[in-house]
A = this chain, B = another copy of it.
């Protein structure tokens, strides 16, 4: 049997045909057209998924289920997208709409949760608990408990990035202040670098972006550090501590067997991983027990699609 998976984004609908081992055998894609009504988008999601099967010569009889990964808050029990910021969905009955085109079980999940599930499935290791943290524009995450995606009673759980680092601190998009996300997202390292460039216009760090803060990227401080720059090193180290403090919290709460760190910035690898591990070891609560293995995520962009495929199974 095969699984159909959809990674729904603000710009594109990406579909995949996935086998039982998590291999993506075929893909299809079309624009989301996020400005349209949900009926049209649901139709395109359905047709895109079906296309991924058809163009691989796989009939619907061979499909076990369809899984949709979507940004926002998803209620899989009811089959609705409660809220998705960049697609303008609000209490949208995506499942019932899609079932007009696909007569198969349809499962829905938040995209960060799907990425967590995909990473878990591909690690091919039974675990009591697995935590996935993704560092991007925000800090997202997902938690797998006893092989099942944990999302709380209303599907909105594991908003790991929206836990406190500094109560009353920087304003977060969620309305609360001082969330982990505001300090540990890629956006945060960019903000810190911009501030440093502004405050130190003659520095080596500033020279890397020609003194133009608009040219600062997520890698700027890392490049400076690589070249022995003190200012760049300071920024990276501070950001790593912010990341590691939040990861310590997740370890104290979940004590997962494995905690994987994903997102583009995780490609920095050992440069960020080793100091994070050291910080967590020094700050975690329980020191006398077997410890969480902290590692860089291995399955990158495809994890979301693979996880969506396995939503029904997990």
A155 surroundings in chain B (CB, below 8 A): 255, 289
* A interface: dominant SS: loop
Whether A288 contacts B90 by the Cβ 8 Å rule is: yes
Q: Say yes or no for A166: interface residue by CB 8 A criterion.
A: yes
- Residues of chain A from 67 to 86 with CB closer than 8 A to chain B in the complex: 73, 75, 82-83
Copies in the complex: 2
Q: Are B288 and A253 in contact (CB under 8 A)?
A: no
- Residues of B with C-beta under 8 A to A248: 164, 176
Most buried by B among A156, A282, A283, A292: A156
- Could you say which residues of chain B place their CB within 8 Å of the CB of A282? 175
What interface size band does chain A fall in? 35 or more
CB distance from A287 to the nearest CB of B (A): 8
Q: CA–CA, A90 to B117, complex, Å?
A: 36
Cross-chain contact of A158 among B157, B246, B253, B289 (Cβ < 8 A)? B253
Task: Tell whether, in the assembled complex, residue A255 and residue B165 are in contact, meaning their CB atoms are under 8 Å apart.
Answer: no
Contact B249 A164 (CB under 8 A): yes
Closest Cβ neighbor of A257 among chain B residues: B153
A256-B128 CB under 8 A given contacts A73-B288, A164-B245: no
Q: Whose C-beta in chain B lies nearest to the C-beta of A282?
A: B175
Residues of B within 8 A of A253 (CB): 157-160, 163, 253
A286 at the interface (CB under 8 A from B): yes
Closest B residue to A291 by beta carbon equals: B154
Give the shortest distance, in Å, between A10 (CB) and chain B (any CB).
Answer: 18
Residues of A215-252 contacting chain B, CB below 8 A? 242, 245-246, 248-249, 252
User: A14 in the interface, Cβ–Cβ < 8 Å?
Assistant: no
For window 10-52 of A, CB contacts with B under 8 Å fall at none
A150 beta carbon closer than 8 Å to chain B:
yes
Most buried by B among A150, A285, A290: A285
Is A145's CB within 8 Å of the partner chain B?
yes
Rounded to whole angstroms, the CA-CA distance of A253 and B180 in the bound complex is 12
Q: Which of A248-292 contact B (CB under 8 A)?
A: 248-249, 252-257, 282-286, 288-292
Top 3 nearest A-B pairs (CB, nearest first) are A152-B255, A157-B255, A156-B286
22 contacts between A and B (CB under 8 A): A73-B289, A82-B286, A83-B286, A91-B288, A128-B153, A129-B152, A129-B153, A153-B256, A153-B257, A153-B290, A156-B285, A156-B286, A156-B289, A158-B253, A159-B285, A160-B253, A164-B165, A164-B246, A174-B285, A176-B283, A176-B284, A176-B285
